[in-house]
Structure 1
Amino acid sequence: MSDLSQMLRPEPLPFYTVLVLFLVLLGVIGWRAARATHSLSDFLVMGGKAGALVGGFAWFASQYSMSTFMGVPAMTYGTGFAGMSISVPGLAFSMIVPMLLVGRKLMLMGKRYNLMTMSDYLADRYESDAIRGIHAVMMVIFLLAMMGAQTVGAGVILNTFTGLPEWIGVVVMGVVVILYCMTGGMTGAMMTDVLQGMLMVATAIVTFWVSVHAGGGMEAITAKLADTMPSHLSHPGTKGDFPWQTYVSMIVMWSFFTIGQPTLFTKFFTMNSYRTMFRAVILGTMGMLFSATLIEWSGVNAATFIHGLTGKDADFIVPLILQQNVSPWISALLITGIVSAGMSTISALLVVSTGGITRDIYQNLFNPGATQRQILALSRWFTILVGIAAVVIGIMKPAGIFSLIRFAFGGLGIWVAPVILGMYWRRASRTGAICAVIVGELLFVAMKLWFPGVAMGFDPLIICWAITMLVMIAVSLCTRSATPETLWRHFDALKACVTRRQQQER
């Protein structure tokens, strides 16, 4: 067994210097974004003017979190290539599948009908404020938990590399993200994502190169794995953690159920054209695949020259690789890349959560007469309040917060049923959608907490979503569908708009 405190060598001066310079640079970008934010549309969806470069980096930067650079490499460090082959194929399709199934239609509807949030789409398609309220409340709860977890990661890194209390790292990250999101909204979040995404890619490249060098080259690494850890080279992994059911579940979850994640869903409303969206998705996918493959492979390589890490200590495998093999200044810069992963995720979650409160709940449910200017001002105040709540969660680290995070992806994934059926089936009804998501959420929580064996080795989301679809189809067939006017807007008029756009972009 290895003592992590003895293996890590804190270098406060390089870490402080690099982190401060990085935060100042983010502040400058946030200030520029603030000058370009004049309306609620600018604040929530960047005015629908995002280009391919900004959109591509924003997609993959907000999809990545601190776990991508800590938790996932720790998994491959302990399980080998089986763990790596679970996540990388899913990432290959995590943006392409949503774009093909819902992206173009959402982009066009956003511009045509002034939709800015996922709840906007659901409420408009099903003519229901009830479904808007249910989705908005559930989304804010889940996303707030995710934000709190990302701030916890920043606190752990600051404590590890400087010795300062964890709460200082939580507060610093929270304050910086709040400032550039409060002033620049989605524009600030997406513009800072470009810098953060570049730093993440650089961290992945250098970490992989260093891990290969430290292991003596790929041939030596493979030979050592075959000799001492042969299960690292085969399925289902070192401890049999990845049977075929898990393999299928993870790929389907990451490539299909991302449709239900509000942070990805909202990005479609930011695109200025389908051609731009396509380029952004290809760029984002390449960035995700490239960096994920390298950083996860680094964890496998490190198993041959860093030994004895278990439990939470294994989460520091990437910082250990860097600290032991590059200069303190380069190490500090690249470890800042890990912090960037958390900040980019928080910024996307923060803006989407704010939109859920101010537009979906306050404006559409309680004060329809509020002006866009009033909602914009209110959004800035709620960005501060939601950000503070996330910081408080990060400081308190209440019991059960990480269990709630595990529920978040699956809980939001249930909503793919009303999205897909609403977009492709005219008969889908409001009653069917509400009944289905309630049944699906209750089943998901029950299977996660009390009856995991019912899933037969698959992730409970797969089973629960299938049941949700069946419930929605059955109830919709027995209840009234949307009015002809709504169906015309979501199907006939939209189809004609798609055809015109295709002709214009050729």
Structure 2
Amino acid sequence: MNSTIVVIVSIYLLICILIGIWATRKTKSASDFLIAGRSLGMFVMAIAAFTSIQSGFGLLGGAGQTFSAGFGFAAGVLVAAPLGFALTWFLVGKRMWAMGDLGDVFTLGDVVEKRYNSRGVRGWLAFAITLGVIGYLGTQVQAMGVIMHSIFGVSPAVGALIGLGILAFYSVGGGIIASVYTDLFQGVIMIVVSILIFFFALNVGGGMQNITETLQSSDPLLASPFGNFSLISIACWFLLFSLGAAGQPHFINKFLMIKSPKELKWGAFTAGFAYAITVLLVVSIGLTARSLQIQGRFPDLASADDALVVFVTDFTPSVIGGLVLAGLLAAIMSTGSGFVTLGAASLVRDMPRAFGKEVKNELFWNRIVVLGLLVISTLFSFYMDTLVALLGVFGWGTFAAAVFPSVVLGLVWRKATKYGAMASIILGVSLNFLFEILNKYGVHLLPEGVVVGAVSLVISILSFVVVSLLTQPVTSEAGSKVLNVT
């Protein structure tokens, strides 16, 4: 426990609480809770989109994977994600806004029901999103435990619970308003911290040339473009994190929140550029820490996920260390707040409406379900005891397989049908969970290096196209209107 770090992080957490109090006072309806009353401008929306994608999975897990095996994770994931921002803005930005302009559209479930005129698609998508939220939020729980343990000296489990308590405070009260404005605050922290630590880490490692030479002396592959990862793994990650980015519901749902389509201009560049800056933190710490380990100057690690935190606490001044750890908590909590709101909307709004029912007082029940999802996700993360990056790939793959075909392709392809959408959701999500559970118990059905989420995404897309072509196209009037948007 370093007093300077504790003070800096405590101030950060206090500001999050204050934003939560402010957002709670502004949240008066389900529209406020779920889509911020459609009031966001370009900069707030773009930074919120970037922070929702760049999470504890990307920073903590990415640094751990870079420490373990070199550049591969950065090449396959962290470079592909900014490309995903551009694809998403181009494919569905205006179309999603146009759906929201039809009125009473707060969730992706609302979007697909209007697009396909089908409550069945809404129900299956809500089910898939709920499962993905539990899995992906588990990533944030694990990462939060690691950070809080390093800052306050408590066990990772207790640290996770402390962080979740603060997350619950502002998520339950302020909903998506609290989420996007804490995202804005947290995003600025992440950008500033990434720039600072990049130059500091290179200096600690003796410069890029010295770091590269040290890595090559131990294992030449560590300094190669793809590290120790196979080309098939890199290709899978690139597919999953470029196309798959457009299938992340906590990201594309934000297009329903902007006040005008004019706010879309420069959004993709802003979000992608901000994300690219944070890649500097991941790569510089991962490679520098591994270089120091090879030289015998870095402590032994219980897990590769500890590399970033150990470097920050042992090799940086307290002020920089406090800012970095606050930035990590920012990445974790910004994504977590978006997830729980999204999951609550699926359970409170989409599931009941899929069966022809409506929940009275949605605002109240959304707040109750947020608490429940935080508890369930915590239990899931303790069961799926694996590296943060790998657990994050699992959650990301679940979302990509369910959402990319049914929502993104559905909004741009006229021949898409409700049967194709349901087939893609059911098959994609089922395969992702089946393969991951089998892998958990040592049963590996896929060739080594093949990423489960990428396979699930490809099969989901194929099933969507084939089943849609085999069934009679049925497009609602609302869906036709949005398909004409360019």
TM-score (norm 2): 0.89
* Aligned residue runs from structure 1 range 32-111, under 5 A: 32-111=22-101
The corresponding residue for 1:490 is 479
Number of corresponding residues: 476
The corresponding residue for 2:266 is 279
Query: Following the alignment from structure 2 to structure 1, what is the Cα–Cα distance between the partners of residues 397 and 54?
Result: 17
The corresponding residue for 1:424 is 412
Deviation of the 1:116 alpha carbon: 1.5
Task: Label 1:220 to 1:406 Cα distance change in 2 as closer, same or farther (>3 A).
Answer: closer
Bigger mean CA deviation after superposition, 402-411 or 415-424: 402-411
Deviation of the 1:351 alpha carbon: 0.8
* Aligned residue runs from structure 1 range 379-418, under 5 A: 379-393=366-380, 397-399=382-384, 406-415=393-402, 416-418=404-406
8 Å Cα contact 1:82/1:233 also seen in 2? no
The corresponding residue for 2:290 is 303
Given the alignment of the two structures, is residue 480 of structure 1 paired with residue 472 of structure 2, yes or no? yes
Deviation of the 1:445 alpha carbon: 4.2
Quick one: which amino acid aligns to residue 398 of structure 1?
A: Y
Given the alignment of the two structures, is residue 257 of structure 1 paired with residue 244 of structure 2, yes or no? yes
459, 469, 488: which one pairs with 2:451?
Answer: 459
* Aligned residue runs from structure 1 range 107-506, under 5 A: 107-237=97-227, 239=228, 241-243=229-231, 245-307=232-294, 312-363=302-353, 365=355, 367-368=357-358, 370=359, 374-393=361-380, 397-399=382-384, 406-415=393-402, 416-448=404-436, 449=438, 454=446, 458-482=450-474, 486=476, 488-491=477-480, 493-494=481-482, 498=485
Quick one: which amino acid aligns to residue 414 of structure 2?
A: R
Identify unmatched segments of 5+ residues in structure 2.
Answer: none
Query: Following the alignment from structure 1 to structure 2, what is the Cα–Cα distance between the partners of residues 257 and 116?
Result: 22
Query: Following the alignment from structure 2 to structure 1, what is the Cα–Cα distance between the partners of residues 394 and 362?
Result: 30
8 Å Cα contact 2:138/2:377 also seen in 1? yes
Deviation of the 1:408 alpha carbon: 2.5
Query: Following the alignment from structure 1 to structure 2, what is the Cα–Cα distance between the partners of residues 174 and 209?
Result: 32
Residue aligned with 2:102, SS: helix
8 Å Cα contact 1:84/1:293 also seen in 2? no
Residue aligned with 1:152, SS: helix
8 Å Cα contact 2:51/2:335 also seen in 1? yes
Bigger mean CA deviation after superposition, 286-295 or 80-89: 80-89
Q: State the Cα deviation string for residues 140-196 of structure 1 (Å, max 9, x = none).
A: 122123223312322232223433233332222112111111221111100001111
Query: Following the alignment from structure 2 to structure 1, what is the Cα–Cα distance between the partners of residues 137 and 397?
Result: 16
Task: Label 1:294 to 1:436 Cα distance change in 2 as closer, same or farther (>3 A).
Answer: closer
Q: State the Cα deviation string for residues 440-498 of structure 1 (Å, max 9, x = none).
A: 33444455537856568543444444443443333334433325xx1x4223x3366x4
8 Å Cα contact 2:396/2:453 also seen in 1? no
Deviation of the 1:109 alpha carbon: 0.8
Q: State the Cα deviation string for residues 358-386 of structure 1 (Å, max 9, x = none).
A: 11123553533x55xx1122222222332
Task: Label 1:421 to 1:305 Cα distance change in 2 as closer, same or farther (>3 A).
Answer: closer
Residue aligned with 1:216, SS: coil
8 Å Cα contact 2:119/2:353 also seen in 1? no
Query: Following the alignment from structure 2 to structure 1, what is the Cα–Cα distance between the partners of residues 478 and 356?
Result: 26
Quick one: which amino acid aligns to residue 428 of structure 2?
A: G
Query: Following the alignment from structure 1 to structure 2, what is the Cα–Cα distance between the partners of residues 431 and 76?
Result: 41
Query: Following the alignment from structure 1 to structure 2, what is the Cα–Cα distance between the partners of residues 385 and 83?
Result: 33
Deviation of the 1:347 alpha carbon: 0.3
In our comparison, the structure showing a higher alpha carbon Rg is 1
Deviation of the 1:219 alpha carbon: 3.4
Bigger mean CA deviation after superposition, 446-455 or 29-38: 446-455
Task: Label 1:168 to 1:362 Cα distance change in 2 as closer, same or farther (>3 A).
Answer: same
Query: Following the alignment from structure 2 to structure 1, what is the Cα–Cα distance between the partners of residues 315 and 401?
Result: 44
Q: State the Cα deviation string for residues 62-119 of structure 1 (Å, max 9, x = none).
A: 1122232322112212322333322232022121111111121011111224322112
Quick one: which amino acid aligns to residue 66 of structure 1?
A: G
Query: Following the alignment from structure 1 to structure 2, what is the Cα–Cα distance between the partners of residues 194 and 225?
Result: 37
The corresponding residue for 1:4 is none
Query: Following the alignment from structure 1 to structure 2, what is the Cα–Cα distance between the partners of residues 232 and 273?
Result: 46
Residue aligned with 2:236, SS: helix
Q: State the Cα deviation string for residues 250-300 of structure 1 (Å, max 9, x = none).
A: 112111112222111211111222332232322111110011134323311
Aligned-residue RMSD, C-alpha: 2.7
Query: Following the alignment from structure 2 to structure 1, what is the Cα–Cα distance between the partners of residues 460 and 384?
Result: 30
Query: Following the alignment from structure 2 to structure 1, what is the Cα–Cα distance between the partners of residues 324 and 462?
Result: 47
Query: Following the alignment from structure 1 to structure 2, what is the Cα–Cα distance between the partners of residues 105 and 23?
Result: 36
Query: Following the alignment from structure 2 to structure 1, what is the Cα–Cα distance between the partners of residues 173 and 267?
Result: 25
Task: Label 1:453 to 1:22 Cα distance change in 2 as closer, same or farther (>3 A).
Answer: same
Q: State the Cα deviation string for residues 375-430 of structure 1 (Å, max 9, x = none).
A: 12222222233234334555xx1246877754332222222222244223333222
Residue aligned with 2:343, SS: helix
Bigger mean CA deviation after superposition, 64-73 or 300-309: 300-309
8 Å Cα contact 1:210/1:321 also seen in 2? no
Quick one: which amino acid aligns to residue 472 of structure 2?
A: R
8 Å Cα contact 1:142/1:405 also seen in 2? no
Bigger mean CA deviation after superposition, 118-127 or 310-319: 310-319
Query: Following the alignment from structure 1 to structure 2, what is the Cα–Cα distance between the partners of residues 411 and 345?
Result: 16
TM-score (norm 1): 0.86
8 Å Cα contact 2:394/2:453 also seen in 1? no
Q: State the Cα deviation string for residues 287-339 of structure 1 (Å, max 9, x = none).
A: 10011134323311332223466774332222233223333243223212212
Task: Label 1:434 to 1:390 Cα distance change in 2 as closer, same or farther (>3 A).
Answer: closer
8 Å Cα contact 2:57/2:139 also seen in 1? no
Query: Following the alignment from structure 1 to structure 2, what is the Cα–Cα distance between the partners of residues 306 and 320?
Result: 12
